[in-house]
Amino acid sequence: MALLACSLFAGTLPVAANVQSVTFKIPPTNIPLKIKGQDVPIIASAVIVLRQQSRDMNLLTLALTADLSGLQQHMTDLLSEQLDKDDRCGDHIEIQNATLSPAAPAALAMVHLHYERYGCAKILGRQQSKRLVGGNAMIPMTLTPAVEENQTQLRLVPQVGVVQADGSLGELLRSGSLGEMLQEKIRKSILAAMQKGTDLSATLPPAVQGYVTIESAQFQDAGAGRLLVQLHGQIRISNEQIQALAKQVKERAAAAE
Domain boundaries, given as residue ranges, for the chain: 2-67+205-256
CA-to-CA separations, 120 to 6, 89, 117, 250, in angstroms, rounded = 76, 5, 10, 65
Alpha-carbon dihedral sign for residues 177, 154, 29, 141: positive
Inform me whether the pLDDT recorded for 9 exceeds 70: no
Beta strands in the chain (DSSP E): 22-35, 38-52, 58-67, 85-86, 91-103, 106-123, 126-147, 154-160, 164-165, 212-221, 227-237
- Of 63-67, 142-146, 174-178, 218-222, the one with minimum mean pLDDT is 174-178
- Residue 42: CB atoms within 10 A of its CB come to 24
pLDDT score of 13: 53
Tell me the pLDDT tens digit for each residue of 89-137: 999 999 999 999 999 889 999 999 999 999 998 887 788 889 999 999 9
The yes-or-no verdict on residue 25 having pLDDT over 60 is yes
Q: What is the mean pLDDT of residues 57-62?
A: 96
Report CA 239 to chain centroid distance, whole Å: 32
Name which of 77-91, 124-138, 157-171 the model is least confident about. 124-138
- Percent of the chain at pLDDT > 70 equals 92
38 burial (CB, 10 Å; 0-12 / 13-18 / 19+) is exposed
Cβ atoms within 10 Å of 257's Cβ, excluding its own: 5
List, for residues 60-81, the tens digit of each pLDDT value: 999 999 999 999 999 999 999 9
Check residue 136 and give its pLDDT: 97
H or E element, residue 171: helix 167-175
On average, the pLDDT of the chain sits at: 90
pLDDT value for 175: 85
Please count the residues of the chain: 257
pLDDT of residue 19: 52
Q: Answer whether residue 55 shows pLDDT above 50.
A: yes
What is the enclosing helix (H) or strand (E) of 169?
A: helix 167-175
* Spatial contact of 56 and 66, defined as CB atoms under 8 Å apart: no
**Alpha-carbon distance 245 to 257, whole Å?**
19
- For residue 56, the model assigns a pLDDT of 82
